[in-house]
Structure 1
């Protein structure tokens, strides 16, 4: 099973890219973030024509998440974080086969010390509590998403700039991500690659992609029960080269035996 995560930064704009990538990469499951579409406008029929069944939770202009599964309908769908009041559509979970998929569009946080930063940390704490319960119910768990946190210095183009006081790399954010990993989750990319300088996001400004000034903030996390089955993982840079691309590239993990 190949499981991927992609922040498409507007599915309305990027649907042709998604359709092309689904044909080329043939993932079995995809978590999509930043669809920026209310549910009535989600392109369910277009994706079904490619063999993918979808579950989704969206809103106009901002946020929005979905899970696509090839050849089967995702089951036991959960939208939002149980017990956490939030109007933003950032969380969806579903079961595909015998694997529980959680798809997160983590809060950006704006700047360290702002109200949005405090909201991000509260949000991540609520996610941790929920994932602890999910893992107990579903040992075969994969958590994907745009985490808006670069795990360590290898995951940023300039650690002097992206430091412990910077948004996306601050100590509190990295501690919150570590708290998720401490539940028994593993960064699938790091199971196979210790290399620095492999990124999944590049700003649209300052020719960042051409200059490879990026961050790795799109993650696929696998539970203890799936660690040995995570036989390959990576980031597909090619869609970032296409015309009018998302600023993110797909991250993926392959489960096999």
Structure 2
């Protein structure tokens, strides 16, 4: 079972890249983030032609998440996190694919900080932690996959250099503490588990030749509950996707599980 996550940074403009990647990588499940399109304009037919069923939670111009499943329609379980009925951001989508529960997550960026955007990031994170506690304890495999907008440490396996990012919301102590609180429930960060000793970046800013210099960050994570973690076989990043024509600023990350 291969499960991937990919922040596409606009599904309309990146659709050729996404379809190209699906054909090459052939994930069984793909979680997409930052669709930037409404529910009505999501390209469902293009994914069906590529062999993928889909559920999605769109938002015109912003946010948006989807779950794709190869040769089968995913069963939507939940759209949006509990805890704030007034939250209109499309950032969380939970689906069932066979025995697997999979969530596509687009956690708020939180910049500029301090300020209301950072406060929203932390509040949203708290809601995710509350909801994830029950998911982690399930006797069936669960994966929380997506763009967490968290750089977990200042080490080179997470960021090329923290110096110019120290005031960014992705590196703040509160952000990191929330991520560690989530992990402490029993989640396994799959890529870190298998590649703790080397850079496995998933994001390169478009500016200052960050891609060309490999000045990247690891902010896209696949978290496995204990049942899923026991089946972990491999994990990686399809890094070359970031270097193609008109790419997203993210590269897909993936795990394979028994």
Is TM > 0.5 for Structure 1 vs Structure 2?
yes
Runs of 4 or more consecutive aligned structure 1 residues displaced over 6 Å after TM superposition: none
**Matched-pair contact (CA < 8 Å) for 2:111–2:168:** no
Q: Are residues 1:206 and 2:208 paired?
A: yes
Q: Secondary structure at the match of 2:251?
A: coil
Alpha-carbon deviation of 1:112? 2.7
**Matched-pair contact (CA < 8 Å) for 1:100–1:138:** no
User: 1:195 — aligned with what?
Assistant: 197
Alpha-carbon deviation of 1:62? 0.4
Any idea what the Cα deviations from partners look like across 1:161-182, whole Å, max 9, x if unmatched? 334x532011110110111111
**Matched-pair contact (CA < 8 Å) for 1:6–1:145:** yes
Q: Distance in 1 between matches of 2:154 and 2:28?
A: 31
Alpha-carbon deviation of 1:76? 4.1
- Which runs of 5 or more residues in structure 1 are unaligned? none
Q: Distance in 2 between matches of 1:166 and 1:56?
A: 29
Give RMSD over aligned pairs. 1.3
User: 2:159 — aligned with what?
Assistant: 156
Which runs of structure 2 are paired with 1:111-126 in the superposition (5 Å)? 111-126=112-127
Which runs of structure 2 are paired with 1:1-257 in the superposition (5 Å)? 1-85=1-85, 86-137=87-138, 139-154=140-155, 155-163=158-166, 165-256=167-258
Alpha-carbon deviation of 1:198? 2.4
Q: Distance in 2 between matches of 1:138 and 1:229?
A: 13
Any idea what the Cα deviations from partners look like across 1:115-164, whole Å, max 9, x if unmatched? 1001100000001101112334464110000000011123011133334x
**Matched-pair contact (CA < 8 Å) for 1:53–1:68:** yes
TM-score normalized with structure 2 length: 0.95
Q: Secondary structure at the match of 1:215?
A: coil
**Matched-pair contact (CA < 8 Å) for 1:156–1:162:** no
- Which runs of 5 or more residues in structure 2 are unaligned? none
Alpha-carbon deviation of 1:33? 0.2
Judged with a 3 Å threshold, the aligned counterparts in structure 2 of structure 1 residues 58 and 138 are, in CA distance, closer, same or farther, namely: farther
Q: Distance in 1 between matches of 2:139 and 2:146?
A: 18
TM-score normalized with structure 1 length: 0.96
Alpha-carbon deviation of 1:191? 1.6
Q: Distance in 2 between matches of 1:138 and 1:59?
A: 33
State the number of aligned residues.
255
